[in-house]
A and B are shown apart, each in its own frame.
Chain A
Amino acid sequence: MSTDTTTWPELAAALFDQLTGRGAEITYEFNDMKISVPSKAGDGAAHADWHIHGTLKIRTRAN
């Protein structure tokens, strides 16, 4: 996995690159997961509460 990863999409892409080449299936199962996302780094940041719920299964189409 690249050490240059700086964003979530890049991290996800790097992770899939590693796993899909091995024929993996990934299941993301969220049960009302709550994430408090800061508007900026450091003190004084406002936070937005995000909720994620549901299940996604991801696999290579060749499987």
Chain B
Amino acid sequence: MPPAPTPPLHVEGTLTVSTNGAAVRITGGPEGQLRVEIDDLATLQKLRELANALPGPGGAAGPSKREQTRRAAEALDRFGLTATIVLAGQPIATVGRGVTAGAVSKLMNLGPIDISKSAVLKLGGSLFTN
């Protein structure tokens, strides 16, 4: 029997996660909205490097960026949440409930994440590396 549908969640408050001088702030908003704020491009790249270095189950290599994105989108959708990633004050991507792949995501085969044009300008070729 399939699992019962999960009711949509409401998240409020702010959490700051930081390491080695890089910080990300997660803030809950109305209607399942999450805001994930990163101060600058250097911080984003540092966080990506750290995330890529995390081991997977049993010490195996961690999942690829595409797999991480797919899992995040799936988990957010499951709980009725939508996350907007904000870099240096500007939204660069949206993922989660109700979000479909934008042109950039389709090109990169990233799944249901909408990456803004400003993200492409800011991140350039680093978007296409694993």
Contact yes or no, A59 B10, CB < 8 A: yes
Contact yes or no, A61 B8, CB < 8 A: yes
A39–chain B nearest beta-carbon distance, Å: 6
Sorting the interface of chain A by its residue count into under 10, 10 to 19, 20 to 34 or 35 or more gives 20 to 34
Interface size of B by CB at 8 A reads 36
Chain A residues at the B interface, C-beta cutoff of 8 Å: 6-7, 9, 12-13, 16-17, 20-21, 28, 30, 37-42, 48-63
Chain B residues at the A interface, C-beta cutoff of 8 Å: 3-4, 6-20, 25-26, 28, 31-32, 50, 53-59, 71-72, 75, 78-80
7 closest residue pairs by CB, A with B: A41-B59, A54-B15, A6-B57, A60-B7, A56-B13, A50-B19, A55-B13
14 A-B interface contacts by CB (under 8 A) = A13-B75, A16-B79, A48-B53, A54-B13, A55-B13, A56-B11, A56-B14, A57-B13, A60-B8, A60-B10, A61-B10, A61-B80, A62-B8, A63-B10
